[in-house]
A and B are shown apart, each in its own frame.
Chain A
Amino acid sequence: MDALWLSMKLAVCVAAILLAIGMPVAYWLAYSSWRGKFLLESVVALPLVLPPTVLGFYALVAMGPRGPLGKLWIALFGHGLAFTFGGLILASVLYSFPFAVQPLVASFEGVDRKLLDASAVLGAGSLRTFWRVILPLSLPGVVTAGVLSFAHTLGEFGVVLMVGGNLAGVTRTVSIDIYDRVQSLEYGEANRMALLLLVISFGVLSVVYAVNRRVWTPWAAK
């Protein structure tokens, strides 16, 4: 159960970090009129098409003792980043980035522009408009972004293996644990973990679709 607990902790941290960084990035992608915007959009979508091993490989190189990130980390904390929980979080954030940003962009863009104009003529600056108008009206997108990053992180394998290795209690997540057990022919244990992951993923995705279908809404229905 250590592995499951670790996976959960990782997924919650990653989802929280992604929501925090995802919102300003999504805001900019939704409202900027800069013509080169497509470049950033491509970068954000990259993890969707790259094999996790490629992303994991570059993350590992950057985090290594001779990589820029690794050097910085050693200077700050006195130990390396690769094969630690912190390194795992960082790589997972990169890997799940589009799963957080894309639903946010879509829901920000879905907010009626006239409401933003109305907010401005009523004296609100862009920060107040974001908190009082854009964010409440984008709540389904925010829930989707959080849940998808959580679920995607929970199920990832390649990146974790590349960056984290397989250290029990530090970087051995559920998916790696399952792989390990299959390798050592413990099918019963593997099945128990796999089933658990399946049920959790199904439950989490049901929340996303229920929110988007307005079966359940966090505010009063229209």
Chain B
Amino acid sequence: MGGEVKPGVLAARVRKARRNTSAPAFVLDVSVEVPQGFTILFGPSGAGKSTLLDCIAGLTRPDEGQIAVGGDALFDSSRGIDFPAQRRQIAYVFQTLALFPHLTVEENVAYGLSGLQQEKRQERVGEILAAFRVEKLRKQKPGEISGGEKQRVALARSLVTDPRLLLLDEPLTGLDAELKAAIVDDLRAWNAAKRIPILYVTHTREEVDALGERVLAMENGHIVSAGAPIEVLDAPRRKKLAQAAGFENLLGGTVLDLREADGVMRVRVEESACEMEVPLGYAVPGDRVKVAIRAGDILLAVERPIGLSARNIMEGRIVSLEPRGTMVIARVDCGVLFVVHVTPGAVRALGLAAERRVWLVLKTHSCHLVE
């Protein structure tokens, strides 16, 4: 290792059991391939995302497996290879960022360049500070700069070493969308030249939508699906993932009949009188199915709508309205409880209030079959 670093694909097969007397046994058992560019590792907290990153970086030792970047083995339990973290040339930005509080921004960024001569080191530090737009902060301590600036400095500190792989463990949580997008743009610009694999961990759906090229969905220590965000997240296969992915409504139902010509089937929700048309799935009448619907995909009307293409119109009654930031969470009883997101403006314009009679409107393709 060392010398000229050729970027290459990360290939990792990792198995690690976490022994803990108080919690049920947890086994991380995954096989992933991360090509150049962004790959998102998505899953609920506790799925094992950070443990996988720690194994790849060399901070945690897997029980068995192989980890290689660009064909160079970093860990191989069968061949007894285990490079320590400091020799893997992998950049890793933690959720807490872990900037050294006693060093200035400049010293933090230069930390990984101890092998270089003073002059060369200054040059590299200057370049990366400029690329991430934090040159002005050179002499400041991490305690004196803002959250977004800290994130930029943490990225600069990791990337100045010309790593073969970048691991990001929810480094941008807590930033507003605009700031996040600006940082991600700078990161993409940097990687346009370097072309290394970037593995980005998140548990929020918004980040997947904002970044998404490839997604690996992880749950309970296993990769449960992989592909483009739309394939992985919009046809959720498992309940927890569905909720993590922002499907607030998860309803059980029974298939009534199939209309193959229309590509739909009718489902009766729970034991209610509520009937819905959902996309055709592999089922026969009488089968139990689960339907996932995002609260933001449901329209709310105060009169029975007519002349709409949407096939599912259900009458109900508002149970509660709960303001949450810039939106209002409405619970609507249609024989079964639906969660609907509306804007405060809509609440005012329509005069929504508890006990108000309303109609829910749902496109067939907003109803996702789960299982």
Residues of A within 8 A of B (CB): 112, 114-115, 117-125, 128, 132-133, 136-137, 219-220, 222
Q: Which of B57, B96, B112, B141 contacts A114 (CB 8 A)?
A: B96
Q: Is the CB of B141 within 8 A of A123?
A: no
B100 within 8 A of A: yes
Residues in A neighbouring B100, C-beta threshold 8 A: 115, 118-119, 132-133
Counting contact residues on chain B (CB < 8 A from A), the size range is 20 to 34
- Would A121 and B111 be within 8 Å (CB), given that A114-B98, A115-B100, A136-B102 are in contact? no
| Chain A nearest Cβ from B10, distance in angstroms | 15
B16 within 8 A of A: no
* Contact segment of B86-94, B189-197, B201-209, B351-359: B86-94
Residues in A neighbouring B57, C-beta threshold 8 A: 117, 121
6 contacts between A and B (CB under 8 A): A112-B98, A120-B84, A121-B86, A122-B157, A122-B158, A125-B86
The count of A-to-B residue pairs whose CB atoms sit within 8 angstroms is 65
| Chain A nearest Cβ from B140, distance in angstroms | 10
Q: Is the CB of B92 within 8 A of A121?
A: yes
Encode contact with A along B314-353: 1 for CB under 8 Å, 0 otherwise: 0000000000000000000000000000000000000000
Q: Is the CB of A120 within 8 A of B85?
A: yes
Residues in A neighbouring B91, C-beta threshold 8 A: 121
Q: Which residue of B lies closest to A128 (CB)?
A: B114
Residues in B neighbouring A124, C-beta threshold 8 A: 86, 111-112, 114
| Chain B nearest Cβ from A122, distance in angstroms | 4
Q: Which of B59, B99, B114, B157 contacts A117 (CB 8 A)?
A: B59
Q: Is the CB of B102 within 8 A of A219?
A: yes
Q: Which residue of A lies closest to B154 (CB)?
A: A118
- Would A121 and B84 be within 8 Å (CB), given that A137-B102, A222-B101 are in contact? no
Give complex CA distance A134, B143 in Å.
18
Give complex CA distance A121, B92 in Å.
7
Encode contact with A along B53-87: 1 for CB under 8 Å, 0 otherwise: 00001110000000000000000000000001111
| Chain B nearest Cβ from A218, distance in angstroms | 10
B161 within 8 A of A: yes
Residues in B neighbouring A125, C-beta threshold 8 A: 86
Give complex CA distance A137, B84 in Å.
24
Q: Which residue of A lies closest to B95 (CB)?
A: A114
Give complex CA distance A112, B100 in Å.
10
Q: Which of A122, A137, A219 contacts B112 (CB 8 A)?
A: A122
Q: Which residue of B lies closest to A115 (CB)?
A: B98
| Chain B nearest Cβ from A119, distance in angstroms | 7
Residues in A neighbouring B115, C-beta threshold 8 A: 123
CB proximity to A under 8 Å, residues B111-159? 111-112, 114-115, 141, 143, 157-158
Residues in A neighbouring B59, C-beta threshold 8 A: 117, 120-121
Residues in A neighbouring B99, C-beta threshold 8 A: 118
Q: Which of A114, A117, A136 contacts B85 (CB 8 A)?
A: A117
| Chain B nearest Cβ from A155, distance in angstroms | 33
Other 13 A-B pairs with CB < 8 A, given A121-B85, A128-B114: A118-B92, A118-B100, A120-B86, A121-B57, A121-B91, A122-B111, A122-B158, A123-B86, A123-B161, A124-B112, A125-B86, A137-B101, A222-B143
Q: Is the CB of B96 within 8 A of A123?
A: no
Question: Which 7 A-B pairs have CB atoms at the shortest separation, nearest pair first?
Answer: A122-B112, A222-B143, A118-B98, A120-B85, A114-B98, A121-B92, A136-B102
CB proximity to A under 8 Å, residues B214-271? none
